[in-house]
Amino acid sequence: MEREKLKKYAELIVKCGLNVQKGQEVVIRCGLDQPDFVAMVTEECYRCGAERVKAEWSYMPVTKLNYSYRTLESLSDVTEIEKAELKRRVDKLSCLLWLDSDDPDGLEGTDSEKISKANMARYPVIKPYRDALENKYQWCIAAVPGKEWAEKVFPDMPADKAVEKLWEAILYTSRADENPLKAWKKHNKQLADHCAMLNKYKFTKLEYKSENGTDFTVGLNPLGIFQGGGEYTLGSKIYFNPNIPSEEVYTSPMRGVADGKVVATKPLSYQGKLIENFYMVFKDGKVVEAHAEKNQEVLDKMLAMDEGASMLGEVALIAYDSPINNTGILFYNTLFDENASCHIALGRGFNNCLENYEKYTVEECEKLGVNNSMIHVDFMIGSPDLQIFGVTSKGERVRIFKDGNWAI
Same domain, 99 and 192: no
Same domain, 131 and 229: no
pLDDT band of 408, cuts 50, 70, 90:
confident
What's the whole-number average pLDDT of the chain?
96
Q: Are 106 and 60 in contact (CB under 8 A)?
A: yes
As a whole number, mean pLDDT of residues 233-253 equals 96
Query: What count of other Cβ atoms lies within 10 Å of the Cβ of residue 199?
Result: 16
Enclosing domain of residue 230: 180-406
Q: How far apart are CA 100 and CA 141, in angstroms?
A: 7
Q: How many residues does the chain have?
A: 408
Residue that finishes a domain, picked among 156, 173, 190: 173
Same domain, 308 and 401: yes
The CATH number covering residue 14 comes to 3.40.1830.10
Same domain, 205 and 343: yes
| Digit-coded pLDDT (tens) for 285-323 | 999 999 999 999 999 999 999 999 999 999 999 999 999
Same domain, 139 and 37: yes
Q: How far apart are CA 177 and CA 1, in angstroms?
A: 11
Q: Are 350 and 166 in contact (CB under 8 A)?
A: no
Q: Are 228 and 192 in contact (CB under 8 A)?
A: yes
| Digit-coded pLDDT (tens) for 60-111 | 999 999 999 999 999 999 999 999 999 999 999 999 999 999 999 999 999 9
DSSP state of 357: G
**Total number of domains in the chain:** 2
Same domain, 99 and 198: no
Same domain, 201 and 154: no
